Amino acid sequence: MISFREVTKIFPGGQRAVDDLSMDIYRGRITVFVGPSGCGKTTSLRMINRMIDPSSGTITVDGRDVGAEPAAQLRRSMGYVMQSAGLLPHRTVLDNIATVPRLNGVDRRGARARAGELLETVGLDPELARRYPAQLSGGQQQRVGVARALAADPPVLLMDEPFSAVDPVVRDELQEELLRLQRELAKTIVFVTHDIDEATIIGDKVAVFAVGGRLAQFATPEEILRAPANDFVASFVGRDRGFRHLSFTEPSGLTIHPVDPTVLSAATEDVAPGWRLVVDDDGRPAGWLGPDQRPAGDRFTAADLIPGGSLYRQGHSLRAALDSALSSPAGIGVAVDEAGIVRGVLRPTEVVEVIERDRAGLQARVASGEPVARG
Ligand SMILES: Nc1ncnc2c1ncn2[C@@H]1O[C@H](COP(=O)(O)OP(=O)(O)O)[C@@H](O)[C@H]1O
Ligand SMILES: [Mg+2]
């Protein structure tokens, strides 16, 4: 287990990159650091293998203070993968990977044999062994980077935005490959990304970092989707960021609950405790009346209505469904048909369940080795 205890990093010049970070990263799991740019993810990651030393606080690995370990030895005990694969341009793919076992004292032949095995482990054709990095695609280079990080068989793998520079399709493949690999290898992986989609697909636990290097939430992906700890997490998880993969998902199994919406003159029907959905004469959503809301005048008028959030058009994506549920003032999404007429409401917890089931299904297919078409 990797433990952060009250870790703060202030760079010379006064920039507070990480602020009082305490967390436990479990062995054999994938923990993802996610958050917007500049919120201290890389700094936190690099303090684990002492590429950066904390200003205060301690980090332990299996109870041993990393500050007391020789930095070079520590670094060799942890694989490190960066956004640019960081391969040596003038060495072949095989030699790039073999460099690491060589540094650890394995003889040349043994190192090359190991490198060859690793090429297969990361799903690369052994034919590529003799090529130079520039002769590979971006996705292939990243796989070589992962192979190299695995070469010393380190128990810990640190990955800093390893898939950020490749196109989305390749990125999906690499994510699936990493999940497959992890089933076999069960490393302790700390994975940095700024992409909440990637975080929820890859992570067993997700740490959401906020601006100023503060930990905003540390929980399972399910919990973060279902119950964001605060407005920052909700907005980061929510509408504009992430969930791109949901756009491609057929929303099967989504329950649209029938409602009895109401027109202003007879605004009585509750659809959520206290909330009433109001429609116009054609049945199109007009807005909401809040719990215990009283009319401003002698009866409710259009001016009393609280504007609704985005609408969910039936048959559209899960992302749109989640948007509608999260953006609604009533905490319940409104589903309309193609003509814009209210067909029912969506409960956010149920939308998240469908999302989670999709994710679990994806992971199960990855685990069974079935090819996964996504996006
Ligand atoms: N070597 C450095 N010297 C000064 N400031 C730094 C240094 N490295 C990072 N920072 C600052 O610390 C903050 C966190 O950086 P970083 O950990 O790289 O964030 P992230 O990986 O989340 O984008 C940023 O404001 C960044 O500008
Ligand atoms: Mg970074």
Higher pLDDT, 60 or 304: 60
Neighbour count for residue 301 (Cβ, 10 Å): 11
pLDDT band at 374 (very low <50, low <70, confident <90, very high): very low
Spell out the residues 6+ positions from residue 49 whose beta carbon is closer than 8 angstroms to its own.
66, 71, 74, 75, 78, 80, 156, 158
User: Which stretch of 26-40, 41-55, 93-107, 164-178 has the lowest confidence by average pLDDT?
Assistant: 164-178
Q: Can you point out the beta strands (E) in the chain?
A: 2-10, 16-25, 30-34, 56-61, 64-65, 78-81, 156-160, 188-193, 205-210, 214-219, 276-279, 285-289, 311-313, 333-336, 342-346
Residue nearest to atom 1 of ligand 1 (CA): 11
Tell me which ligand sits closest to the C-alpha of residue 52: 1
Q: Is the CB of 42 under 6 A from ligand 1?
A: yes
**Same domain for 182 and 214?**
yes
Spell out the residues 6+ positions from residue 261 whose beta carbon is closer than 8 angstroms to its own.
269, 271, 276, 277, 278, 279, 283, 285, 342
Domain finish residue from 186, 221, 239: 239
> How many Å apart are CA 154 and CA 164, to the nearest integer?
23
Distance 194 CA to ligand 2 centre (A): 8
Tell me which ligand sits closest to the C-alpha of residue 213: 1
Q: Give the domain CATH number at 375.
A: 3.10.580.10
**Same domain for 82 and 14?**
yes
pLDDT tens digit sequence for 187-207: 999 999 988 889 998 999 999
**Same domain for 289 and 153?**
no
Mean pLDDT of the chain: 85
Distance 88 CA to ligand 2 centre (A): 22
User: Which stretch of 125-129, 186-190, 192-196, 370-374 has the lowest confidence by average pLDDT?
Assistant: 370-374
pLDDT band at 17 (very low <50, low <70, confident <90, very high): very high
Q: Give the domain CATH number at 90.
A: 3.40.50.300
What does the DSSP assignment read for 165-216? Answer: TS-HHHHHHHHHHHHHHHHHH--EEEEEES-HHHHHHH-SEEEEEETTTEEE
Instruction: Tell which one of 42, 47, 193 to mutate to probe ligand 1, the residue whose CB is within 8 A of the most ligand atoms.
Output: 42
User: Is the per-residue pLDDT at 77 higher than 70?
Assistant: yes
Q: DSSP state, 275?
A: B
Segments forming the whole domain that contains residue 358: 243-375
Looking from the CA of residue 33, the nearest atom of ligand 1 is 22
Q: Does residue 254 contact residue 350 with C-beta atoms inside 8 Å?
A: yes
Q: Is the CB of 38 under 6 A from ligand 1?
A: yes
Domain finish residue from 239, 255, 276: 239
Domain finish residue from 239, 270, 298: 239
**Bridge partners, 36 (sequence order):** none
Q: Is the CB of 193 under 6 A from ligand 1?
A: no
* Phi, psi dihedrals of residue 77, rounded to the nearest 5°: -85, 0
Residue percentage of the chain with pLDDT more than 90: 38
Instruction: Tell which one of 10, 18, 21, 39 to mutate to probe ligand 1, the residue whose CB is within 8 A of the most ligand atoms.
Output: 39
Distance 197 CA to ligand 1 centre (A): 23
Instruction: Tell which one of 39, 43, 236 to mutate to probe ligand 1, the residue whose CB is within 8 A of the most ligand atoms.
Output: 43
Q: Is the CB of 39 under 6 A from ligand 1?
A: yes
Spell out the residues 6+ positions from residue 264 whose beta carbon is closer than 8 angstroms to its own.
278, 286, 299, 300, 301, 302
pLDDT tens digit sequence for 130-189: 999 999 988 899 899 999 988 888 899 999 998 887 777 788 888 988 998 888 889 999
Residue nearest to atom 12 of ligand 1 (CA): 17
Buried/exposed 174-195: b ≥16 CB within 10 Å, e otherwise: bbbbbbbbbeeeebbbbbbbbb
Q: Does residue 61 contact residue 156 with C-beta atoms inside 8 Å?
A: yes
**Same domain for 230 and 323?**
no
* The predicted structure's pLDDT at residue 214: 96
Look at residues 39, 342, 13 and name the one whose alpha carbon lies nearest to residue 210. 39
Distance 27 CA to ligand 1 centre (A): 27
Task: Give the mean model confidence (pLDDT) for residues 30-59.
Answer: 95
Residue 275, both tokens: 């909330």
What is residue 329's three-state secondary structure?
coil
pLDDT tens digit sequence for 269-324: 445 567 888 888 888 888 888 877 887 877 778 888 888 778 888 877 777 888 88
Q: Is the CB of 15 under 6 A from ligand 1?
A: yes
**Same domain for 186 and 290?**
no
Residue nearest to atom 27 of ligand 1 (CA): 38
**Same domain for 224 and 313?**
no
**Same domain for 297 and 331?**
yes
Looking from the CA of residue 160, the nearest atom of ligand 1 is 21
**Same domain for 75 and 222?**
yes
**Same domain for 216 and 294?**
no
Residue 146, both tokens: 């992962």
Residue 34, both tokens: 């996610």
> How many Å apart are CA 308 and CA 329, to the nearest integer?
6
User: Which stretch of 232-241, 307-316, 321-330 has the lowest confidence by average pLDDT?
Assistant: 232-241
**Same domain for 295 and 233?**
no
What is residue 32's three-state secondary structure?
strand
Q: How many domains does the chain have?
A: 2
**Same domain for 196 and 251?**
no
Q: Is the CB of 17 under 6 A from ligand 1?
A: yes
Distance 259 CA to ligand 2 centre (A): 46
Instruction: Tell which one of 4, 9, 11, 51 to mutate to probe ligand 1, the residue whose CB is within 8 A of the most ligand atoms.
Output: 11
Distance 35 CA to ligand 2 centre (A): 9
Distance 202 CA to ligand 1 centre (A): 24
**Same domain for 318 and 306?**
yes
* The predicted structure's pLDDT at residue 240: 42
